[in-house]
Amino acid sequence: MIEDTALAEFRSTFRTWLRDTIPNDWRDQLADDYRGFNVWWVSAMRDAGYGPPHWAKQVGGPGLSLPEQLVIYEETTDPDCPGYPGLFSCAYTHVHDTLTLHGSPEQIDRHLKPILDAKCVWAQAFSEPEAGSDLASLKTRAFRDGDDYVVNGQKIWSTLAPHGDWAIVLARTDPDVPKRKGISYFLVDLASPGIEVRPIKQITGAENDFAEIFFTDVHIPAENLVGQENDGWRIANTTLAAERGPLAIPTALTLRETLADAVALARLQIPDDSAFAVSSLGQRYAQLHGEVEILAEMLYGTLAKFIEVGEPGPESSIIKIFLAPLMQRVSAYGLDVAGSAGHHEKGASLRDRASSDWLVNHLASWVWTIAGGSDQIQRNIIGERVLGLPRDPLVD
Ligand SMILES: Cc1cc2nc3c(=O)[nH]c(=O)nc-3n(C[C@H](O)[C@H](O)[C@H](O)COP(=O)(O)OP(=O)(O)OC[C@H]3O[C@@H](n4cnc5c(N)ncnc54)[C@H](O)[C@@H]3O)c2cc1C
């Protein structure tokens, strides 16, 4: 990124603030009290005028410029910095971006303030067991009953739902029209009677990141409908764009840090510069380093367009299919170099120097080929919207 003096000063002040604010034992604090630490961390960022980075002043945000926001994402990807905004990612991006565009003034007043005060964790409950890539075929039903809607159905892969207080939910309100025309968008209190949240355990060992959500005769006040009944598909597209926008930045930039950690381990094995340069570990590193830097350039290019147009374009799909396999190869490099010590095991020689669990990193790196739209779906988007190839026929 081209940095002028004012931006360099902003970065330096923010770096100093991070250094002075983050406690040395933050990892222990996070492990002891996951929610409490997340609440403290996002509140500290907000109070200092750094968060939520992309919120405008009118809704209580800091009103930062896009380059300043980028500085915040860049600096907080440092491995010595707690993940940001952590538990509040769906609230900060999906909920904020959707409500500011489609919510009523009452909904904005009622829901954005508790997010700012770190009092409310939100989850996104869109996907269903048979509606992922083809989200519009979702079957969860909602029908109007007096002042309420009554919802029945099942969601899956709802990130953060085990910690969630509220969720954004899509449900079918008219089954008799083409599938995209009969969906509505709701704000749902997860403490409502009839809701059961069942956490899903993952291969990485994480037990509380995802959940299935079951709805049995759940009453949602009609005031929690966002926009008009049956206009939910259009509104959901704002949410999905939020997911593919600034949220991708920290993920992509973290790769630089991950590769730096991996090469630090490789250099312990081959400290000599010339020997490293001709070794297979050195050659692999050179290739990965080049690709990570190309990714950063692509990201900054897409961001420049994002500033101009105000929302991510189909180019973000190109970044995503470049990013996902690169994450797998970078984490595989770290795992190869760290060997068995790459999986946290007490007493292993390299373990103390490995800043993360490389096996878990590697297993987790695969999620990006699926989350936010699978690679095949991204290829469809590139074919149709970037290259102008004919669309798949819509049969329903
Ligand atoms: C880390 C992670 C976080 C997630 N978080 C959330 C969340 O918070 N909330 C939420 O609602 N959902 C979430 N999801 C769910 C995610 O959106 C879906 O998993 C994703 O859309 C794919 O849907 P699916 O799993 O049903 O796979 P399917 O749609 O069944 O796809 C199976 C395979 O078929 C391929 N395929 C499907 N259709 C086509 C096509 N038209 N052309 C070519 N190939 C095709 C796919 O690429 C894939 O390889 C998350 C998923 C992950 C991995």
- 384 in active site: no
Amino acid at 302: T
**Pocket lining: 202 vs ligand 1, CB cutoff 6 Å:** no
CB distance 292 to 255 below 8 Å: yes
Q: Whose CA is nearest to atom 24 of ligand 1?
A: 132
Answer whether CATH 2.40.110.10 is correct for domain 122-230: yes
pLDDT at 122: 98
pLDDT of residue 349: 39
What is the per-residue DSSP string for 263-276? Answer: HHHHHHH---HHHH
pLDDT higher than 80, residue 316: no
125: which strand partners? 169
383 lines ligand 1 (CB under 6 A): no
**Which atom of ligand 1 is the closest one to the Cα of 127?**
11
Confirm if 107 and 70 have CB atoms less than 8 A apart.
Answer: no
The average confidence (pLDDT) of the chain is 89
Closest to 225 measured CA to CA, from 322, 362, 311, 98: 98
Read off the pLDDT of each residue in 238-256 and give the average, rounded to a whole number: 75
**CA distance linking residue 86 with residue 208, whole number of Å:** 13
Residues 174 and 182: beta-carbon distance below 8 Å: yes
Give the number of the atom of ligand 1 that is nearest the alpha carbon of residue 135.
Answer: 21
List 243, 257, 293, 311, catalytic entry: 243
Structure confidence by residue, pLDDT tens digits, 349-389: 343 444 568 888 898 888 889 988 899 988 998 898 889 99
Q: Please name the residue that has the structure tokens 């409310």.
A: 120
Q: What is the mean pLDDT of residues 297-317?
A: 73
- 327 vs 78, higher pLDDT: 327
Smallest CA separation from ligand 1 atom 51, residue: 371
pLDDT score recorded for residue 241: 77
Q: How far is the CA of 220 from the centre of ligand 1 (A)?
A: 27
In this prediction, residue 236 carries a pLDDT of 94
Q: Is 369 in the pocket of ligand 1 (CB under 6 A)?
A: no
Answer yes or no: is the C-beta of 368 below 6 A from any ligand 1 atom: no
Q: 315 or 312: which carries more pLDDT confidence?
A: 315
Residue 8 has pLDDT above 90, yes or no: yes
pLDDT at res. 310 = 63
- Strand blocks (E) in 94-201: 122-125, 141-145, 148-155, 166-172, 183-189, 195-200
Confidence at residue 352, expressed as pLDDT on a 0 to 100 scale:
42
CB 87 within 8 A of CB 160: yes
**Is any ligand 1 atom within 6 A of the Cβ of residue 132?**
yes
SS3 120: coil
So what's the architecture of 245-386 in CATH? Up-down Bundle (1.20)
Cα dihedral 385, 387, 388, 389 sign: negative
Instruction: Report domain extents, the chain.
Output: 5-84, 122-230, 245-386
Q: How far apart are CA 217 and CA 195, in angstroms?
A: 9
Stronger pLDDT, 310 or 34, i.e. the higher one = 34
Distance 132 CA to ligand 1 centre (A): 4
- Within 8 A by CB and 6+ apart from 257, the residues are 77, 78, 79
Q: Is the CB of 133 under 6 A from ligand 1?
A: yes
Question: Do strands 195-200 and 210-221 pair parallel, antiparallel, or not at all (unpaired)?
Answer: antiparallel
Nearest CA to ligand 1 atom 41: 377
Of 145-159, 165-179, 241-255, give the lowest mean pLDDT range.
241-255
